[in-house]
Amino acid sequence: MVLGTSGTTAADVIAVARDGARIELSEEALAAVAASRQVIDDLAAKPEPVYGVSTGFGALAVRHISPELRVQLQRNIVRSHAAGMGPRVEREVVRALMFLRLKTLASGRTGVRPLVVRTMAAVLNAGITPVVHEYGSLGCSGDLAPLSHCALTLMGEGEAEGPDGVLRPAGELLAEHGIEPVELREKEGLALLNGTDGMLGMLIMACEDLGRLFTVADVTAALSLEALLGTDRVLAPELHAIRPHPGQAASADNMLRVLAGSGLTGHHQDDAPRVQDAYSVRCAPQVAGAGRDTLAHARLVADRELASAVDNPVVLPDGRVESNGNFHGAPVAYVLDFLAVAVADLASIAERRTDRLLDKNRSHGLPPFLAGDAGVDSGLMIAQYTQAALVSELKRLAVPASVDSIPSSAMQEDHVSMGWSAARKLRTAVDNLTRVLAVELVAATRGIELREGLVPAPASRAVLAAVRRAGVEGPGEDRYLAPDLAAADAFVRSGQLAETVEQVTGPLA
């Protein structure tokens, strides 16, 4: 892809982070970078101190740094700030982090030399991934430690992972790919560290994954409704038109299309009269729809942040170099936390439907725990325990990180966003939501198969066949259950569930 001074999209980030797309720098971007560098060079030649150019950093910004020490200053900020600890973060996170920092450098607002921009692009294109650790960012003044570990690789220091997945000294990997280490000059070390790139990259990838999972949740909710002989009348578009939340209408429409032609829905009066289905069934579009609307807001924030040039100080179009607070991660941190709340609630309502399917007193004729011979067999009893454990953890992960500011840098940085922490826990939450929906899929498909004499919807029949081909076995006597759950999890993660349904229904929202 060609990287310019603006116009980077979420799809671009996904392509680089996950698919290894190569990057080419536009001539426009290189010219803008060169122009802003000239501004920095002119300021560096003057006797007046300029933050980040000829001063220290953070609480040490009061010291004027003489010209002969400025290369050392920039090198030292990278080395000292590369202080992360804990396990390594995922390769896709590091690539997103680096690409988003490169995007801001290419904007022509940071004052780095074209050499720095070219080197960062070369490292990404070579498939070299710096070692970045779990802990080290407070989400203010940028994702400092994570970005510092990336900058360290540009200098040929520290460790990185090669395209073969093997950890090696960064200098060796650069040499192997013909990349010269960079000697940083005025402001360049600071410019490589001052960004919300880590939390933004994780937000973009979470939005991508949740876009698929909300569709999955509509499908599994529809299958559960069908297995419980619920009514699809609550999904009628005219009911959702009088409460015009767009996400709610989209979820209801998805469910209605999955259930089209079902011989199971509407039998809720056959065994024991019930006027209405339980909330976990009847209100599925309202809950999933609210999550969809939350996701839409998060995408709006991500797009705004993508359009931003986050650095301090910045080179303005009129040539002024000004300090600012744009590195504060609050806008991104809030939506990361907001999404974690929506994820926890979506998982919670899915677990309640699973529990209802397994309870003979509420499942309207299904055997206890969907077991073959209840008492001798336990069926899916413990699968629901696993699902409940996941939901419980999701509730803990929904506790906001962004309200937990902790001061740093001798009280200069006295309010921070904790956006990196919010992003890390959201990644875990999205992963666990996938597992929760996979368990509901196992229970709902088994419940449908146990409704002998009633014909499921065409979309449901397609799902049943695909799930069985994927290695998830149907009703019967107890067996080693973990492989079934793992197969269902893989089926959901691969996108096959939505693809299978859409072959019958057409594209779902």
Collapsed DSSP state (helix, strand, coil) of residue 314: strand
Residue 169: count other Cβ atoms within 10 Å of its Cβ: 14
Q: Residue 132 in 3-state DSSP?
A: coil
Distances (CA, A) of 347 to 90, 208, 388: 24, 18, 9
What are the angstrom distances between the C-alpha of 492 and each of 39, 42, 344? 52, 56, 18
Query: d(Cα 290, Cα 252) in Å, to the nearest integer?
Result: 12
Cα–Cα distance, 445 to 330 (Å, whole number):
42
Q: Answer for the pair 42, 18: CB distance below 8 angstroms, yes or no.
A: no
Which one of the listed residues 51, 135, 334, 385 is annotated catalytic?
Answer: 51
Could you confirm whether 51 is annotated as catalytic? yes
Q: Are 338 and 294 in contact (CB under 8 A)?
A: yes
Q: What is the DSSP letter of 306?
A: H
Helix (H) or strand (E) holding 15: helix 10-19
Paired with 88 in beta bridges are: 133
* Contacting residues for 243 by C-beta, under 8 A, at least 6 apart: none
- Angle among Cα 146, 148, 153 to the nearest 5 degrees reads 105
**Contact assessment for residue 413 and residue 407, using Cβ atoms and an 8 Å cutoff:** yes
Tell me which residue has tokens 């969809």. 292
H or E, element range at 134: strand 133-135
Give one DSSP letter per residue of 204-251, joined into a string: HHHHHHHHHHHHHHHHHHHHHHHHTT--SGGG-HHHHHTS--HHHHHH
List the catalytic residues. 51
